[in-house]
């Protein structure tokens, strides 16, 4: 029997050391011309504006990363094991296939749906999705100055 190519995937997100109450799910579904990404997240920290030289907390950087590893080997750099942004065509930051729009939170809850033509669900199976503490500036190289990684989930195929 011939196996069909994957056209749906999901990641269950869990918070790390800094924000252990974060949880949620991200769905990837192939649609005409690309992929629809749907995220629903709970437990995000409340927004804090930037003060002097400090970064704001939120809106939250949101990216697909190279490796499907969500280990915390260094508490100062949670989820560093996930590697850099998913970037199969070696683009500058802001144009990585894994660069997604920031997540806006309302009292710790975020729901977002976005279309991308940069990848299909089968391309991101086995990679990870990361939420960062700070907003992505979409300019700074290599990762947008989006701060600590606060939640991670491994992207798996939905059969």
CATH code where residue 106 lies? 2.60.40.200
Residue 1 belongs to some domain of the structure:
no
Kind plus residue range of the DSSP H or E element containing 122: helix 121-124
Number of domains into which the chain is organized? 1
User: Does a structural domain hold residue 3?
Assistant: no
- What is the rounded distance in angstroms from the CA atom of residue 152 to the CA atom of residue 81? 10
Model pTM?
0.92
Q: Is residue 2 part of a domain?
A: no
In a domain, 57, yes or no: yes
What range defines the domain where residue 51 resides?
A: 8-157
- pLDDT for the residue 1: 45
Angstrom CA distances, 129 to 1, 26, 121, 136, stand at: 32, 8, 13, 14
Mean pLDDT by 10 residues, the chain (159 residues): 72 96 98 96 94 88 96 92 94 87 96 96 97 86 81 94
Does the residue 87 lie in any domain? yes
91, 33, 24: which is closest to 62 by C-alpha? 24
Please report the pLDDT score of residue 144 as a whole number: 66
């Amino acid at each position: 029997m011939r196996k069909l190519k994957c056209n749906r995937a999901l990641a269950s997100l869990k918070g790390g050391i800094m924000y252990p109450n974060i949880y949620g799910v991200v769905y990837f579904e192939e649609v005409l011309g690309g992929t629809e990404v749907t995220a629903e997240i709970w437990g995000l920290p409340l927004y804090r504006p930037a003060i002097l030289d400090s970064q704001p907390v939120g809106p939250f950087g949101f990216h697909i990363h190279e490796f499907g590893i969500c280990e915390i080997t260094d508490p100062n750099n949670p989820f560093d094991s996930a590697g850099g942004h998913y970037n199969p065509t070696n683009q500058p930051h802001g144009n990585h296939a894994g660069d997604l729009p920031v997540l806006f939170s309302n009292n710790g809850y975020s729901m977002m749906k976005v279309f991308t033509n940069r990848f299909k669900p089968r391309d991101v199976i086995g990679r990870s999705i990361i939420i960062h503490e700070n907003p992505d500036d979409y300019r700074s190289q290599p990762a947008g100055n989006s701060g600590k990684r606060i939640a991670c989930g491994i992207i798996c195929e939905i059969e």
